[in-house]
Amino acid sequence: MALKFPDIRPYIIKIGPLEVRWYGLMYLIGFVSSYLLVRYQVRRRGLPVQKKTVDDIYFYLILGLIAGARLGYIVFYNLKQYIKEPLEVFAIWHGGMSFHGGLIGAILAGIWLTRRYKLDFWLFSDLIVVTAPIGLGLGRIGNFINGELYGRPTSLPWGMVFPAGGPVPRHPSQLYEAFFEGPVLFLILWYLKDRSRFRGQMTALFLILYGVFRFFIEFFREPDPQLGFVLGPLTMGQILCTGMIVVGALIWWYRAKTGSPF
């Protein structure tokens, strides 16, 4: 017997057309938690970094992440549709964000900011990525509350019938991702952060572990309907995660070998 999808409204408060949604609240908590933990690491390690510098870094990182997530979704997942309807690019309330695009946007913003402030890119990248799983895990819970990004059909006892997924029980793959991309990844990175041997190691490890976790969980997640399977049994998410793993391995090799500044 399939589990019933919990009847949770996707919004917390609704006033006319304006909504405060659980999904947005999850990311707000994630950003605030990351910010506070980076400030904690800066103080604990005695780094000569002013609060304003951290504030500026987060302001532009969030802008880069949001812009990158939107553009990434357009390019990676639905380019033909947005070419037909270009004004939909700005209709972010209709959904459509890509983690991999957001990651690229945040990295580009980070490179620009660290050069502007003459900071070590790898140092700050390592400080931030160990906190990123908090927002990632909470974001997946937001996906679950929205009833989106659900899994493939299953006969397992914890299969769940999602309102938008038809009458068949499906894997609650959002919760799989929330668990592995959230607390599991966070605990690994947080434990190892003070044991790293070179700057950039935590960044490389984040890319590798997230890529591995997401790659395997994608086998339980329903492919995006407009794309389906892209390369044999692989989805677009798995292809992008393969690129993450390769890039992470190259960063690890390069930083371990040279230790040179970015």
Lowest average pLDDT, out of 67-81, 142-156, 161-175, 192-206, goes to 67-81
The confidence band for 9, taking pLDDT boundaries of 50, 70 and 90, is confident
Answer whether residue 98 is part of any domain.
Answer: no
Q: CB within 8 A of 40, min separation 6: which ones?
A: none
What per-residue confidence (pLDDT) applies to 262? 42
Average pLDDT over residues 187-208: 96
Residue 261 has pLDDT above 60, yes or no: no
CB neighbourhood size of 142 (10 A) = 22
The confidence band for 211, taking pLDDT boundaries of 50, 70 and 90, is very high
Answer whether residue 254 is part of any domain.
Answer: yes
Q: CB within 8 A of 126, min separation 6: which ones?
A: 193, 196, 199, 200, 201, 202, 203
What per-residue confidence (pLDDT) applies to 122? 94
3-state secondary structure the chain: CCEECCCCCCEEEEECCEEEEHHHHHHHHHHHHHHHHHHHHHHHHCCCCCHHHHHHHHHHHHHHHHHHHHHHHHHHHCHHHHHHCHHHHHCHHHCCCCHHHHHHHHHHHHHHHHHHCCCCHHHHHHHHHCCHHHHHHHHHHHHHHHCCCCECECCCCCCEECCCCCCCCECCHHHHHHHHHHHHHHHHHHHHHHHCCCCCHHHHHHHHHHHHHHHHHHHHECCCCCCCCCECCECHHHHHHHHHHHHHHHHHHHHHHHCCCC
Answer whether residue 64 is part of any domain.
Answer: no
Instruction: Report the Cα–Cα distance between both ends of the chain, in Å, rounded.
Output: 55
Answer whether residue 69 is part of any domain.
Answer: no
Average pLDDT over residues 172-195: 97
What per-residue confidence (pLDDT) applies to 94? 61
Answer whether residue 68 is part of any domain.
Answer: no
Residue 90 has pLDDT above 90, yes or no: no
What per-residue confidence (pLDDT) applies to 60? 95
Question: How many structural domains does the chain have?
Answer: 1
% of the chain at pLDDT higher than 90: 75
71 close to 101: Cβ distance less than 8 angstroms = yes
pLDDT digits (tens, 9 = 90+) for 118-175: 999 999 999 999 999 999 999 999 999 999 999 999 999 999 999 999 999 999 999 9
C-alpha of 137 from chain center: 8
CB neighbourhood size of 131 (10 A) = 22
Mean pLDDT of the chain: 92
Structure tokens at 119: 């900071």
Full domain range(s) for residue 12: 3-49+119-258
Answer whether residue 80 is part of any domain.
Answer: no
Answer whether residue 56 is part of any domain.
Answer: no
Residue 93 has pLDDT above 70, yes or no: no
What per-residue confidence (pLDDT) applies to 192? 97
What per-residue confidence (pLDDT) applies to 249? 97
Answer whether residue 220 is part of any domain.
Answer: yes
223 close to 165: Cβ distance less than 8 angstroms = no
Residue 259 has pLDDT above 80, yes or no: no
- Give strand pairing partners of 13: 20
| Long-range contact pairs involving 34-38 (C-beta distance under 8 Å, separation at least 24) | 34/58, 34/128, 34/131, 34/132, 34/134, 34/135, 37/130, 37/131, 37/134, 38/127, 38/128, 38/131
What per-residue confidence (pLDDT) applies to 91? 64
The confidence band for 4, taking pLDDT boundaries of 50, 70 and 90, is confident
Average pLDDT over residues 42-56: 93
